[in-house]
Amino acid sequence: MDIKNIGIAGAGIMGSSMGQIFASYGYKVVIYDLFEKALEPARQRISQALDALVSKNEMMAEQKKNTLSRISFSSDMKSLKDCDFLVECVVEDMGIKHKFFEQLSEIMREDAIIASNTSGLSITKIAESVKNPARFAGMHWFNPPHIIPLIEVIKGDKTAQETADIIYDISLKIGKKPIYVNKDVPGFIANRIQLAVMRECVYMLENGIGTAEDIDKCMKYALGFRYACIGPFEVVDFGGLDTFYHVADYLWEDLSDAKKPYGLFKKLIEEKNLGVKTGKGFYDYSGDKAKKALDRRDKLFLTLKEAKLEN
Ligand SMILES: NC(=O)c1ccc[n+]([C@@H]2O[C@H](COP(=O)([O-])OP(=O)(O)OC[C@H]3O[C@@H](n4cnc5c(N)ncnc54)[C@H](O)[C@@H]3O)[C@@H](O)[C@H]2O)c1
């Protein structure tokens, strides 16, 4: 399928960044948001992100101009009618997504490919409001989208393999590392791994086994360090299945199998300590600490990205 025109629905954190990426790879992009007031901040975010690339000599000023000229912004859903491919990035609410897709189905061509960037809502359930659900799948990006390479392509019960393949191919074309999620399970693949790790980390913190700093160091300087280069199955292959089998045999039964995130996690939420955005989470982000932490994060992410990991 020849995809030229791309629609992004939802001009928030994810949608604006995706629009920038598609446009920088030569696609014509329409960024649509229900709320007119969301459009100017999105345009500014894109412009600032492109300026940062120009100042680091990763993009020529001319390329920035061309990228911006390929993006249009609209609060009129009809602006999406000529799109060959659309990624939905509206708020994570099944009711809102259903209403959006019902309206969209009246506007878009029936053969246009449609994807949702939902973090974890069921693709099969979202598809109930999509006309011709064979052309619909999940396309799960990671924040910040311009840095993190992975994209999960999730097949719902009615997704055609061809649809998943088209989304996979376009992900490759924009320099991403796509994977297929063959079953529409909660959390897809990445969030299942992430939340399993998080459950154990919170359990260890609650039980005084280590401090947040030391548990994070364990990930950064051993496990995560390794996982940036080889995955968990490769780790086991290199270490020896017999060794890992023996460890799993005595350790799995001792790991947290908590069914709900109650305890410390819930307490922090109840105290409105939501992390960087409120100035406190597991760590303190008061004053300029949040900006410093974000700058440090993005600098390190970019260093890793520049290492050009293969496979
Ligand atoms: N932020 C993340 O880290 C992240 C990562 C992966 C996936 N996601 C998913 O991406 C989606 C968007 O997340 P975000 O962080 O960009 O959210 P956001 O709140 O920054 O942006 C959502 C945008 O959707 C708009 N919107 C709301 N209702 C709409 C409608 N009916 N039609 C059109 N636009 C509408 C809002 O005005 C807002 O601009 C969610 O499904 C989220 O779960 C987010």
Q: Is the CB of 96 under 6 A from ligand 1?
A: yes
55 is catalytic: no
- Domain membership flag for residue 174: yes
119 is catalytic: yes
Strand pairing report for 150-154 and 136-140: antiparallel
> Residue 218 — very low, low, confident or very high, per pLDDT cuts 50/70/90?
very high
- Domain membership flag for residue 152: yes
* Rounded Cα gap, residues 37 and 133, in angstroms: 31
From 35, 39, 89, mutation site for ligand 1 pocket: most ligand atoms within 8 A of C-beta: 89
Q: What is the CATH number of the domain that holds 223?
A: 1.10.1040.10
Tell me: do 235 and 130 sit in the same domain: no
152 is catalytic: yes
Strand pairing report for 177-181 and 150-154: parallel
Taking residues 78-103, what's their average pLDDT? 97
Tell me: do 198 and 221 sit in the same domain: yes
- Domain membership flag for residue 311: no
Taking residues 195-212, what's their average pLDDT? 97
Tell me: do 25 and 152 sit in the same domain: yes
Tell me: do 129 and 256 sit in the same domain: no
246 CA distance to ligand 1 middle (Å):
44
- Of 75, 191, 200, 206, which is the active-site residue? 191
Give me the pLDDT at residue 259, please. Answer: 96
Taking residues 82-109, what's their average pLDDT? 96
CA-proximal residue: ligand 1, atom 18 (nearest)? 12
Please determine, for residue 311, whether its predicted confidence score (pLDDT) is greater than 60.
no
- Please state, rounded to an integer, the average pLDDT across all residues of the chain: 95
From 32, 91, 129, mutation site for ligand 1 pocket: most ligand atoms within 8 A of C-beta: 91
Whether residue 178 contacts residue 168, with contact meaning beta carbons closer than 8 Å, is answered with: yes
- Domain membership flag for residue 206: yes
Tell me: do 18 and 135 sit in the same domain: yes
Total-model pTM? 0.93
Q: Is the CB of 35 under 6 A from ligand 1?
A: yes
Tell me: do 140 and 10 sit in the same domain: yes
Tell me: do 173 and 196 sit in the same domain: no
- Domain membership flag for residue 130: yes
Tell me: do 291 and 148 sit in the same domain: no
Q: Cα torsion at 243, 195, 172, 43 (round to 10°)?
A: -150
- Of 129, 140, 146, 171, which is the active-site residue? 140
Tell me: do 166 and 211 sit in the same domain: no
Whether residue 228 contacts residue 309, with contact meaning beta carbons closer than 8 Å, is answered with: yes
141 CA distance to ligand 1 middle (Å):
12
Last-in-domain residue among 147, 162, 181: 181
Tell me: do 157 and 295 sit in the same domain: no
Whether residue 136 contacts residue 159, with contact meaning beta carbons closer than 8 Å, is answered with: yes
Last-in-domain residue among 181, 215, 243: 181
Last-in-domain residue among 154, 181, 208: 181
Tell me: do 53 and 110 sit in the same domain: yes
- Of 66, 75, 79, 119, which is the active-site residue? 119
Q: What is the CATH number of the domain that holds 19?
A: 3.40.50.720
> Residue 87 — very low, low, confident or very high, per pLDDT cuts 50/70/90?
very high
Whether residue 225 contacts residue 300, with contact meaning beta carbons closer than 8 Å, is answered with: no
Whether residue 18 contacts residue 12, with contact meaning beta carbons closer than 8 Å, is answered with: no
Tell me: do 244 and 295 sit in the same domain: yes
105 is catalytic: no
CA-proximal residue: ligand 1, atom 36 (nearest)? 10
Q: How many domains does the chain have?
A: 2
> How many C-beta neighbours within 10 Å does residue 285 have?
19
Whether residue 47 contacts residue 89, with contact meaning beta carbons closer than 8 Å, is answered with: no
Range with lowest mean pLDDT among 24-38, 202-216, 226-240, 294-308: 294-308
Please determine, for residue 309, whether its predicted confidence score (pLDDT) is greater than 70.
no
285 CA distance to ligand 1 middle (Å):
24
Whether residue 88 contacts residue 97, with contact meaning beta carbons closer than 8 Å, is answered with: yes
- Determine the structural domain holding residue 101 and report its residue range: 5-181
- Domain membership flag for residue 217: yes
Q: Is the CB of 14 under 6 A from ligand 1?
A: yes
Give me the pLDDT at residue 310, please. Answer: 60
Backbone angles phi, psi at 169, to 5 degrees: -65, -40
